[in-house]
Every structure is written in C-alpha cells, then in structure tokens.
Amino acid sequence: MTEQGGTIKAPRGLAGVSVSDTRISKSSPDGGLVYRGYPIGELAAKATFEETAYLVLNGKLPTRAEFRDFAASLAALSKVDAGVFDIMRSLGPGAHPIDVMRTGVSALGSLDPERSRPGRERSIESKMAVLAANSRRVPAGEQPRLPADGEGFADTLLSMLTQREATQFERWVFERVLIFYMEHDMNASTFTVRVVASTLADPYAAASAGLASLKGPLHGGANEAAMDMLLQVRDPGDAKKFVDSAVREGKKLMGFGHRVYKRFDPRARLCKQYLREMVQRRGGDDGIYRVCDAVEMEMWERKRIPPNLDYYAAPIFYLLGIEIPLYTPIFAASRVFGWMAHYNEQTEENKLIRPDSTYVGPTGLTYKPIDERGP
C-alpha cells in the first residue's frame, strides 16, 4: 500500500488488507480454519449445529443448560408472521429465492413483534431457515412448509426443504455442511453486514444487505453454478475435454479457487469425504462423485487451483434431493449466525466504516446549456 495525499492506497478488492480485528473466526492459506479458536475439523467431528452456532455467537461452547435454552429459543422464535409470507407470495414464481429471502427479512423489520435487540437478532437467526425453505414455494403460490416440533435446526431445515426421509448419516452430513457455511471471517457478505452495522442500522437491515451480497455467483451463488456445471460434464471421461475447453475460452469454473486458500479448502476436503461415503452407502451409481474427482484433478493439473466448499457441498445437496435454486438460501440460513456475531462485534467497539477513494475522472469541465450540447 502507498500513501497518496494523506490516504492509504489499498490493492483492488482489498486483497491482503486487514480491515478489522475479530475474535470470531480465521482462515489461512495453508488450509486452516478456526471458529473461536476451535479447528473446523474438531467441530465437524464432534459438535452439533446448535453448539457451533452458540460458540460463534458467544465465544464459548454452551453448558448443558445453555444448549437447551438456546435450542429452545431457536424453535420458539421460528414462527413467521403470515404477513411476511403474503409479501413473499406477491413477488411471484419468477423471483430469485435470495431476493425473496431478502424481501422477507426486510419485512420482518416492520412486522416482527420482537423489539429488544437480542430478541431481534435471535428472531432473524430462527426465522431465516423457514424463509429459506419457502423461498420458492410461497412465491409459486404453494402453502409454506413449517418447522416440525422436536427436531434440531439442521433436521428441521432439511425436512422443510425436501419432505423426504433422509438417513441418519445423510442428516449428519447435512448438519456438517451447515456448520461449514456458518462463518468464514471477512468474506464479502460479512463485510457488507459489518459496514451496515457500523451505521448502527438494525440487524434486519444488516441481514438484508448480507443477503444482497450473498446472491452473486462469486460468493453465495457459486454452489448453484457449481452444480449446474457438474451436470454438464455427466461422465468422468469428459472431464479433461471440459476443463481444456473452459481454460481455452477463458471461462471461470465455479467451485474452484479462493481468495485465502491456495493449497486446499479444509471444508471442501471434508465434504469430499462425506460425498464419497454417501455414494458408497447408497450403492449403485457413483458417477457424480467420479465426475467431481475427475474435474478436480484436471483443474489442479492445469491451473493448480483447488476446489472450495461450494464445489463439494453442491453434489451433497443434489443427492439429498434439494432443488438447485435453494442452495444459496441454505447458505444464508446458516451464515446468518456468523453475520449476527459480526454485527455484535462491530457495534460493541464501533467506528463508522467509511473508506476513501482515489478519483481518476476528469476535472475542470465547464457547464454548457443543453441546446449547446448537440441534438
């Protein structure tokens, strides 16, 4: 970075620039990822979604009583006002699910009976899964699917998404993927949430902004694009030809590359193991795993670019019978816990985020009346 007229010139995209101190999570180029000091592999092997969410929000794992109260509060606050569904329904079947969720969260800001700040944050965390599961159904005119009593957060979301009976192992895998999506230091949507939080806007505004940022294919939308890509390949024997063609034409293969991870994404590595075991336990066709593996090997051979979480999360969702347009809403239903943790961290030691910019446009222009500017 260089000094220019009293400001610091940062690299494009803020690559390599630390914009804040955080105690929540950190990824590293060698494939490391910690949540509040716990390695992601440790949490994936031993923790539940609710335990991990409590950790991310509060900085420590819950006691038995804290776990019970936290899980109960998520279930108790998950009921969405019918007026929110009415607004979502008015968008129509052509609306993008993330746009539907963003509109739903924005509506919650006016219709939600919760008024205390902690209550509003917990309300958003609880209701986001319901909004995600219904982000296609309700605009299409179908009745909303609502949470069943007595199920954990991950099982409830999966049941609302598919209405099919998943095996115990499949439910466990889905919960791991949600844990991986929950938090990932200063990514684009989290930074967006912190910018909004720094203005002291309410958590509904911050979450709505996070959803807007998440929609892009270079962030949350990458899991949908990755699955669409994998379905184009179909046969592992076509992987080399597919990758060669993409590289030759300068196309970006979704699900590959990361701003931080240069050797491997630890979440993708674990999801690959889960996908392989899912396929093995089902028996029969293992084509989807072999396609994923073949394309991954070709990309590493050609570009030395590893897959990221989206690449292996997508086929897991696909095997679970989840519609592709719902992949990014699933991301949001989990990431909202990380967003609220960052919202709190930002506001606790707040300073308005207001960077400078370097003007490179023209100067000294003289105004001309409209009739002197040509026809």
**Is position 184 within any domain?**
yes
What DSSP element (H or E) covers 74? Answer: helix 64-76
- Quick: pLDDT tens for 258-288: 878 888 999 999 999 999 999 999 987 899 9
* Together in a domain, 68 and 25: yes
Residue 132 CA to residue 220 CA, distance in Å, equals 13
Q: Is residue 167 part of a domain?
A: yes
The per-residue pLDDT for 148 is 86
CA dist., res. 157 & res. 335, Å (int): 14
Upper half-sphere CA count for residue 161 (Cβ side, 13 Å):
29
- Check 81, 96, 219, 238 and give the catalytic one: 219
- Residue 251 falls inside a structural domain: yes
Highest mean pLDDT among 278-287, 296-305, 330-339: 330-339
Range 244-249 average pLDDT: 90
| Residue 314, C-beta contacts closer than 8 angstroms, at least 6 positions apart | 223, 224, 226, 227, 230, 255, 324, 327
Instruction: State residue 157's pLDDT score.
Output: 96
Residue 172 and residue 302 in one domain: no
Give yes or no: residues 262 and 196 share one domain.
no
Q: Do 168 and 37 lie in a common domain?
A: yes
The pLDDT, as a whole number, for residue 117 is 80
Of 265, 293, 310, 342, catalytic:
310
The H or E element containing residue 322 is: none
pLDDT in tens, 122-155: 999 999 999 999 999 999 999 999 998 888 999 9
**Amino acid at site 128:** M
Per-residue tokens: 98:
């993330």
Query: Of 80-94, 163-177, 253-267, which range is least confident?
Result: 253-267
Angle of helix 287-303 relative to helix 309-319, nearest 10 degrees, comes to 170
Q: How far is CA 224 from CA 190, 306, 313, in A?
A: 20, 18, 10
In whole angstroms, what is the distance from residue 288 CA to residue 231 CA?
Answer: 8
What is the pLDDT averaged over residues 94-98?
Answer: 95
User: Average pLDDT of the chain?
Assistant: 92
Neighbours of 340 (CB within 10 A): 26
More reliable by pLDDT, 207 or 285: 207
Class of residue 347 by CB neighbours under 10 A (exposed 0-12, middle 13-18, buried 19+): middle
Task: Provide the residue range defining the domain that includes 236.
Answer: 222-319
Instruction: Give the C-alpha distances (Å, rounded to integers) separating 283 from 25, 216, 237, 278, 320.
Output: 37, 35, 21, 9, 15
- 309, 173: one domain: no
Extract the tokens encoding 24.
């929540």
CATH code of the domain containing 41: 1.10.580.10
286 is catalytic: no
Q: Catalytic residue among 258, 265, 293, 342, which? A: 258
Within 8 A by CB and 6+ apart from 284, the residues are none
Place of tokens 């902690």: 118
pLDDT by residue (tens digit) across 7-56?
788 888 887 788 889 999 999 988 899 999 999 999 999 999 999 999 99
| Beta bridge mates, 35 | 25, 38
86 lies in the same domain as 235? no
**How many Cα atoms sit within 13 Å of 171 on the Cβ side?**
17
Mark whether 71 and 24 lie in a shared domain.
Answer: yes
Domain co-membership, 265 together with 331: no
**In this structure, is residue 163 part of a structural domain?**
yes
Contact predicate 265/309, CB 8 Å = yes
Q: How confident is the model at residue 5 (pLDDT cuts 50, 70, 90)?
A: low
Same domain, 114 and 160: yes
Number of domains in the chain: 2
Q: Residue 201 above 80 pLDDT?
A: yes
In this structure, what is the dihedral angle of CA atoms 186, 52, 225, 228, given to the nearest 10 degrees? 170
Q: Does residue 310 have an active-site annotation? A: yes
pLDDT at 296: 95
Q: Is 219 a catalytic residue?
A: yes
* Integer Rg of the chain from CA: 22
pLDDT value, residue 141: 96
Q: Bridge partners of 314?
A: none
Q: Does residue 178 contact residue 17 with C-beta atoms inside 8 Å?
A: no
Examine the domain organization and report whether 298 and 331 are in the same domain. no
Predicted pLDDT at 11: 84
CA pair distance 58, 7, nearest whole angstrom: 36
> What pTM was computed for the model?
0.93
